[in-house]
A and B are shown apart, each in its own frame.
Chain A
Amino acid sequence: MYVATKGGEKAIGAAHAWLDEVRRGDPAQPELTTTQVEQQLGLAVDRVMAEGSCHDRGLAALAVKQSRGDLIEAAFLLRAYRTTLPRFGASLPLDTNAMAIQRRISATYKDLPGGQVLGPTFDYTHRLLDFRLAAEGGLPAGAPQGEPDPSPTPRVTELLAQDGLMQREAPEESEPGDLTRQPLSFPADRPLRLQALARGDEGFLLSLGYSTQRGYGGNHPFVGEIRMGEIAVEFVPEELGFAVDLGDITITECQMVNQFKGSRTEPPQFTRGYGLVFGHGERKAMSMALVDRALRSPELGEGSEAPAQQQEFVLSHCDNVEATGFVEHLKLPHYVDFQSELENVRTMRAAAMKERGE
């Protein structure tokens, strides 16, 4: 006699207990601390903060640990936490000119005010596995300390703009929207597009940015500047009426310089693709800048045929928490719909067989 399956609750409980066990791994090994994750897997923490759109290194490290290193799952954990937080208001715009620079490079000028600062980069490492790390290599030799350069580090795009060669961005009159409170509607303005890209999946934006370089909506980019460092976040509480320093965060900013042939109303000049992410996330910031510029193509009269130029396509699919949810939901039971498809296909097969027989 057939009895319908029961015991979902028990099964879920057992699955969660098993998950806890495999997350911990061999109990003979010391447990990973969130401080270790935060310090030694810092770029994973940065990515989770960026895609989780919540700047909290400790919580991001906890999310990385809890998710067993699955960074999309970690971003999801952080987002689900973020959404419960009350909103006090918006911070003042960050002034990236005032950044305490750890890294700053420009590909458009050999030398420039503020200089080129390589900082902690993988760029010129040889990708050879360092077996000393596997054998607990001990403390690194330590980087030589230079004299801090007190001269200001103006933004490259600003230097170009002073010569009228770079299109200036129109200042936003109204407070930008918040796509975590209001659903995105199309066409979306640039602040909302940048918001969506800033929390978008690094891999998706990387591939889209790459596609623009390979001819799908290309816009001849140069890295005007990438800068990474610490910057103060300021907030004006209504009851005080003056700015209060909330603390410093590390961010990466990328400004791409792109050609623009000019139009009837505007002279030929360079235009900007902009990327900004929490932490040290150069690949993401660069990809974001490429895609931001591609999304401006329609308004600059450059067409919208390429995937990266279509904002509905890009913005509706760049969020990995949404994407992973909908892709993975296919593993939930669908047998009711499948049953009606079964009946449907059987009917169609019977009709086709009959036709063939005649």
Chain B
Amino acid sequence: MSTDAGYNFAYLDESTKRMIRRALLKAVAIPGHQVPFGSREMPLPYGWGTGGIQVTAAVLGPRDVLKVIDQGSDDTTNAVSIRAFFRRTAGIATTERTAEATIIQTRHRIPERKLTEGQILVYQVPIPEPLARLEPRIAETRRLHAMADYGLMHVKLYEDIAKHGHIATSYSYPVMVNERYLMSPSPIPAFDNPKMHMMPALQLFGAGREKRIYAVPPYTHVRSLDFEDHPFRPIRAPHACELCGSRDTYLDEVLVDDKGGRIFVCSDTDHCQERQAMKEAAE
């Protein structure tokens, strides 16, 4: 099945995959808890998605259909490169259609289309520790997680409100998983956070450089931290997509000239194309 002789199916050797799968099982059993794993040195650089790639390689089977997105788009260079990596090392089918994919590896977005049971969403994670900016010592944050001591984060959010009148975190917005572990949703926009809640698909998170794996099993409670009088508010540009007219999807701002001209288009390119096709069919 592998198209690159000399390497195992999906690059990693089977004992490494087994090690990663064990970490994944533990992660699924303790939703939101970061499990250390023996992250390998990959032929792509740290920061390019080595954690996500290792997780994908560990769960990938020959009949899987893989979709890779970066910033919501299938055609960003890094998404292209990772998709090519798996085509080359695993010879599996790839797709740009969210609905057709069995595994979706993503950086910075959750697809707009509702994911379904049986699908797996693999996130690339740069900093798995949600408390990292408040407490850089891992030995200390482990203790805080063990005791579910998340006061630091609540104080940070409170200070945001005191200073700005609202919570000033717009991405990597921290979530409580299953009302037990504070978790970084990876640097997705806060707009995407609500999609994690009770998602029918399995969500797996891989941080290669930091050597951590964590997971949110299907239909798990995921709550964005907030206060009763300052409820969580997802942020998006208050415009309609120039291409499909959508008013409820996450938009990218595109500068079209140097005189302040700009348009807004869907960040999820597959979803946008689907909507455009539907619009055309209706006309």
Contact = CB atoms under 8 A, between A and B. Distances in A.
B192 to A, nearest CB: 9
B116 interface: no
A33 to B, nearest CB: 24
Interface stretch (B151-159, B176-184, B246-254): B246-254
Contacts of B172: 337
A83 B41 contact: yes
Given A183-B38, A337-B187, A343 B236 contact: yes
A82 B168 contact: no
A336 B209 contact: no
B46 A332 contact: no
Interface stretch (A6-14, A246-254, A276-284): A6-14
A163 to B, nearest CB: 38
A340 B236 CA distance: 6
Secondary structure at the B interface, as helix, strand, loop or mixed, is loop
A180 interface: yes
Contacts of B36: 182-183, 185
A344 B170 contact: yes
B42 interface: yes
A214 interface: no
B265 A333 contact: no
A333 B78 contact: yes
Most chain B beta-carbon contacts within 10 A, residue among A12, A335, A336, A341: A336
Given A5-B75, A186-B138, A332-B48, A340 B191 contact: yes
Contacts of B42: 80, 83
Contact of A321 (B41, B80, B165): B41
B149 interface: no
A333 B139 contact: no
Contacts of B164: 348, 351
B241 to A, nearest CB: 10
B126 A342 contact: no
B53 to A, nearest CB: 12
Nearest to B8: A84
Nearest to A337: B171
A55 interface: no
Most chain B beta-carbon contacts within 10 A, residue among A11, A324, A340, A351: A340
Interface stretch (B24-32, B57-65, B66-74): B66-74
Nearest to B80: A8
A85 B149 CA distance: 42
Nearest to B75: A8
A347 to B, nearest CB: 8
Contacts of B38: 180-183
Contacts of A324: 45-46
A68 to B, nearest CB: 16
Contacts of B168: 344, 348
A2 interface: yes
Interface in A1-41: 2, 4-9, 11-12
B76 A9 contact: no
Contacts of A183: 36-39, 211-212
B189 A340 contact: yes
A81 to B, nearest CB: 9
B117 interface: no
Interface in B191-210: 191, 209
A231 B139 CA distance: 38
A80 B71 contact: no
10 contacts: A5-B75, A11-B77, A12-B77, A183-B39, A186-B139, A325-B46, A335-B252, A336-B189, A348-B164, A348-B168
Interface of A: 2, 4-9, 11-12, 76, 79-80, 82-84, 86, 180-187, 312, 316, 321-322, 324-330, 332-337, 339-344, 347-348, 351
Given A8-B80, A348-B168, 14 more contacts: A2-B256, A4-B243, A7-B75, A8-B75, A324-B45, A329-B48, A333-B76, A333-B78, A334-B71, A336-B189, A337-B170, A340-B171, A340-B235, A343-B235
Interface of B: 7, 13, 36-43, 45-48, 50, 70-73, 75-81, 84, 107-109, 126, 136-139, 164-166, 168, 170-172, 187-191, 209, 211-212, 235-238, 242-243, 250-254, 256, 263, 265, 267, 269
**A-B pairs with the 8 shortest C-beta distances?**
A329-B47, A325-B46, A183-B211, A340-B170, A8-B80, A325-B45, A83-B41, A337-B171
